[in-house]
Amino acid sequence: MGHPFPIREIARQAGLSEATVDRVLNGRGGVRENTAQEVHRAIADLDRQRTQVRLVGRTFMVDIVMQAPERFTTAVRAALEAELPGLHPAVLRSRFHFRETGPAAEQVRTLDRIARRGSQGVILKAPDVPEVTAAVGRLTAAGVPVVTLVTDLPASGRLAYVGIDNRAAGATAAYLTGQWLGDRPGNVLTSLSSGFFRNEEEREMGFRSAMRALHPERALVEIAGGQGLDATQYDLVRAALERDPEIRAVYSIGGGNIATLRAFADLRRECAVFVAHDLDHDNTRLLRGHRLSAVLHHDLRHDLREACHLVMRAHGALPPAGPALPSAIQVVTPYNMPTTPAG
């Protein structure tokens, strides 16, 4: 395949040896298929980041490690790559390690591999479990600063957390849901992707606390385990609706919103209020079609710019600054949607 990049650059982007990259590019065999795919992904990443590659300056390689649905990781990739050309005075390059689901051990292996081969920083979205916390500790001990994004790992020794105040977001969702339901009866379905992401747990606690204070008469029905994926979310929502005929509203903490709405439609049930998170491509379409009431959004480009600045400060490339403040919580409705793609 034609490309303008030297083997050394491709090898660095892929985290592989130059010999391995050479074998893949010249079709010499003896390389596993997934390794060959890593080489081709590295070339694609370099092509998107070619503006940065041509710049002159101190170069930082940053690894983005995330467990999240594809719709969210796509938004993160686009937001980061839009920010890269403006991240002066250093030149930042990025490698992506995305997975939708799977055991924590897979993410631990990725983090340990990064610790062995080296990196100038890791931006991480991961479940808050002991094995991941320990892997972050090993990265920190190896001199690799770790910034958590969207969801925190406060006991891990990470450098900083970048994202919204998730308790405040949950309380905001409760306020909106209560205002829009008004005097109409009905219970509220809260949907988490899993029980291991701290941001979802904090959003649920904020929502539950505010609903208890503002609308103690409404029952909250919780489901979890759909991983934010439509394929697994539908059955969970449908079962909850069949068990409780009084559910009239949804606070979607973990995603899978297309499947949630399909379950309501298939049972001919009304969803009077639906509050979700993140203006990804699915939620953008649903909000534009008035199928969501509101999306609680935060500026991913701002968050990723702040995360990269934190990495640069850790290496002395920027002067010190105060602690990162929580990102602004944006309440987006069908009537104030951004005119540019979310990011």
Tens-place pLDDT, residues 52-67: 545 445 788 899 999 9
Residue 341 lies in a domain: no
Residues 79 and 181 in one domain: no
Residues 97 and 200 in one domain: no
Angstrom CA distances, 197 to 71, 253, 278, 296, 312, stand at 18, 11, 16, 18, 27
Q: DSSP for 232-267?
A: HHHHHHHHHHHH-TTEEEEEESS--HHHHHHHHHHT
Cα Dmax for the chain: 70
pLDDT tens across 211-226, in order?
999 999 999 999 999 9
Residue 220 lies in a domain: yes
Residue 68 lies in a domain: yes
Q: What is the CATH number of the domain that holds 39?
A: 1.10.260
CA-closest candidate to residue 236, choices 219, 215, 218, 250: 250
Residue 283 lies in a domain: yes
Span 128-147, average pLDDT: 97
Q: What is the CATH number of the domain that holds 263?
A: 3.40.50.2300
Residues 270 and 177 in one domain: yes
pLDDT tens across 230-261, in order?
989 999 999 999 999 999 999 999 999 999 99
∠ CA 304-66-146, rounded to 5°: 60
pTM: 0.82
Residue 47 lies in a domain: yes
Residues 178 and 284 in one domain: yes
Residue 338 lies in a domain: no
% of the chain beyond a pLDDT of 70: 95
Angstrom CA distances, 307 to 16, 146, 161, 222, stand at 25, 9, 8, 32
Taking the C-alpha atoms of residue 141 and residue 86, their distance in angstroms, rounded to an integer, is: 30
> Would you state the structure tokens that stand for residue 137, as one six-digit string?
């500790």
Residue 317 lies in a domain: yes
Measured in whole angstroms, how far is the alpha carbon of residue 319 from the centre of its chain?
28
CA-closest candidate to residue 163, choices 211, 198, 193: 198
Burial class (CB in 10 A: 0-12, 13-18, 19+), 316: exposed
pLDDT tens across 140-197, in order?
999 999 999 999 999 999 999 999 999 999 999 999 999 999 999 999 999 999 889 9
Average pLDDT of the chain to the nearest whole number: 90
Residue 85 is part of which domain span? Answer: 59-163+300-325
Per the structure, the count of domains in the chain is: 3
pLDDT tens across 309-328, in order?
999 999 988 888 888 899 99
Grade residue 113 by pLDDT with cuts at 50, 70 and 90. very high
